Amino acid sequence: MSSAMMIDARGIQKKFGAVTAAADVQIAIAHGERVSLIGSNGAGKTTFVNMLTGYIKPDAGEILLDGQSITGLAPRQIARLGVARSFQIPQLYKALSVQDNLLAAIAAQKSALSFWLPAKNAESIALAHEILQRFDLLQHAERLVSELPGGVRKLLDIAMALTRQPKVLLLDEPTSGVSADEKFPMMDTVMRALDGSQTTVLFVEHDMDIVAQYSERVIAFYSGRIIADDKPEQALAMPDVKRYVTGELIAATDHA
């Protein structure tokens, strides 16, 4: 294993007009870490994720992936180097079955020379079943995506991202749109599926109960700056995080 950090962002800066979205952002994340990115809307966390995935170019600074600079690379190039992403709204083919969605994701990972081969071959089906089993989705294999509840759709979206065997998995609001009854079992399933892997996981999340339970580390953003970077218990207890992210100090002051 490389001794380099899996993600190493150095002095990242980004402005959109007069708005500062990243101000000298410094983040180093090790192999296999489970890290939450938190902050109110517009705080800078999604901008950081978009710069990490190549959808936005930083104005200054450098981002390294496992020791290799990815600054300025296109999203497709960064994906090939091992960065996968699931989205707040799952990117699924609703008219296809769960298994066929996964087979399409597996086929998309093949080289251009082999892409003409049928997606439904024995090897791909066996791999799809293995992944479905890891995510407790095998019982849904033949169901249409349009029939699935929100939590199952999110699991499928994450499972599809993992067909790339990524070094880094970015989860954008994994519990958004998921019922209160589904969100903890869903996250338990995701973490079990990742057990034993060295996949580094970053998830953007607004639910502080999820953040506290499933993160090893929390990075909090406010106005393009990092205001906390620590273990969940310590980070969530910081006054600036309570004031600008969770609103606890404001609520307490208003109540008084």
Q: Using one digit for the tens of pLDDT, what is the confidence trace for 89-103?
A: 667 888 889 999 989
Parallel/antiparallel/unpaired status of strands 83-86 and 34-38: unpaired
Asked whether the predicted pLDDT for residue 128 surpasses 60, the reply is: yes
In whole angstroms, what is the distance from residue 224 CA to residue 237 CA?
Answer: 20
What are the C-alpha distances in Å from 99 to residues 102, 138, 145? 5, 8, 10
Residue 121 pLDDT: 77
CA 164 to chain centre: 14
Residue 250 pLDDT: 55
* Radius of gyration from C-alpha coordinates of the chain: 19
Residue 2 pLDDT: 52
Average pLDDT of the chain, as a whole number: 88
Residue 95 pLDDT: 86
Residues 6+ apart with CB under 8 A from 7: 27, 28, 29, 52, 63, 64, 65, 168, 200, 202
Asked whether the predicted pLDDT for residue 255 surpasses 60, the reply is: no
Residue 109 pLDDT: 72
Q: Return the minimum-mean-pLDDT range out of 6-10, 88-92, 103-107, 151-155.
A: 88-92
Domains of the chain: 7-255 (3.40.50.300)
Q: Work out whether the CA dihedral 8, 89, 38, 25 comes out positive or negative.
A: positive
In this structure, what token pair is assigned to residue 219?
């990075």
Asked whether the predicted pLDDT for residue 49 surpasses 60, the reply is: yes
Average of pLDDT values for 155-174?
88
204 touches 171 (CB < 8 A): yes
Q: pLDDT digit string (tens) for 171-212?
A: 988 888 888 888 899 899 999 988 878 899 999 999 999 999
